[in-house]
A and B are shown apart, each in its own frame.
Chain A
Amino acid sequence: MNVFPFLVAVWLLAVGLYGVVTSRHFVHLVISLSVMQASTYVLLLAVGYRTGAKAPVFADIPARSRIVDPVVQALTLTDVVVEATVSALLLALAVQAHKRFGTVDPDELGALRG
């Protein structure tokens, strides 16, 4: 039971990877990529968790109470916003690819033409 969150993270990574590899639509690929990103968030937060500890905000709890690790939360929260914009970049790529080559199937977008 005490490795269950990590196993869920590995499952999300595997499922997302399967979705990326077997995708037939570029947008489906980008969304499966976001599932893979979610697996890293779950892993990071699970590593930093302490049983019985509170959230790392001292606004309303006494200054000496136990808190969960704030460093992994700092990493994850910037990551969430930034990966959304990177997904937007990939979607822009998909739109332009469709305009140029008329298809959104990743398997057919093989050769780069000038």
Chain B
Amino acid sequence: MTALQAVALVLVAIGGGAVVFTREPPRQAVVASLFGVLLAVLFFLFQAPDVALSQITVGTVALPLMILLALAKIRQEEDS
């Protein structure tokens, strides 16, 4: 295992903990997007470019967008 892979694994482990322990959902969406980028870097280092491409597109664009839209709708319902 190369040093880069070890560092990436440690960062992913820390990122996973950060995502769960951020309690407010709007902030958690941003942290989850960052976690997605860290995962994509890890996948590149594991010689998996297809999976990294999937993770980048989904984890940084599609998933945080849907989370923020759901939160906007929930807050809209609470305000009205």
- Cβ-defined contact, B20 with A18, below 8 A: yes
- Chain A interface residue count, CB cutoff 8 Å, equals 50
**Are B54 and A91 in contact, with the CB atoms below 8 A?**
no
Q: Which of A53, A77, A95 has the most C-beta atoms of chain B within 10 angstroms of its own C-beta? A: A77
| Docked complex: B1-58 residues within 8 A CB-CB of A | 1, 5-6, 9-10, 12-13, 16-17, 19-21, 23, 25, 28-29, 32, 35, 39, 42-43, 46-51, 53-55, 58
In the complex, the answer to whether A8 meets B32 with C-beta atoms within 8 Å is no
Contact A11 B13 (CB under 8 A): yes
With A80-B58, A84-B63 already in contact, the answer to whether A95 and B73 are too (CB < 8 A) is yes
Interchain CB contact (< 8 A) of A53 among B19, B47, B59: B47
Please report A residues at the B interface, Cβ cutoff 8 Å.
1-2, 4-5, 8, 11-12, 15-16, 18-19, 24-25, 27-28, 30-32, 34-35, 38-39, 41-42, 45-46, 49, 51, 53-57, 67-68, 73, 76-77, 80-81, 84, 87-88, 91-92, 94-95, 98-99, 104
Could you jot down 8 A-B contacts, CB within 8 Å? A8-B13, A25-B25, A28-B23, A34-B32, A49-B46, A49-B47, A76-B54, A94-B74
Interface residues, chain B, with chain A CB atoms under 8 Å away? 1, 5-6, 9-10, 12-13, 16-17, 19-21, 23, 25, 28-29, 32, 35, 39, 42-43, 46-51, 53-55, 58-59, 62-63, 66-67, 70-71, 73-74, 77
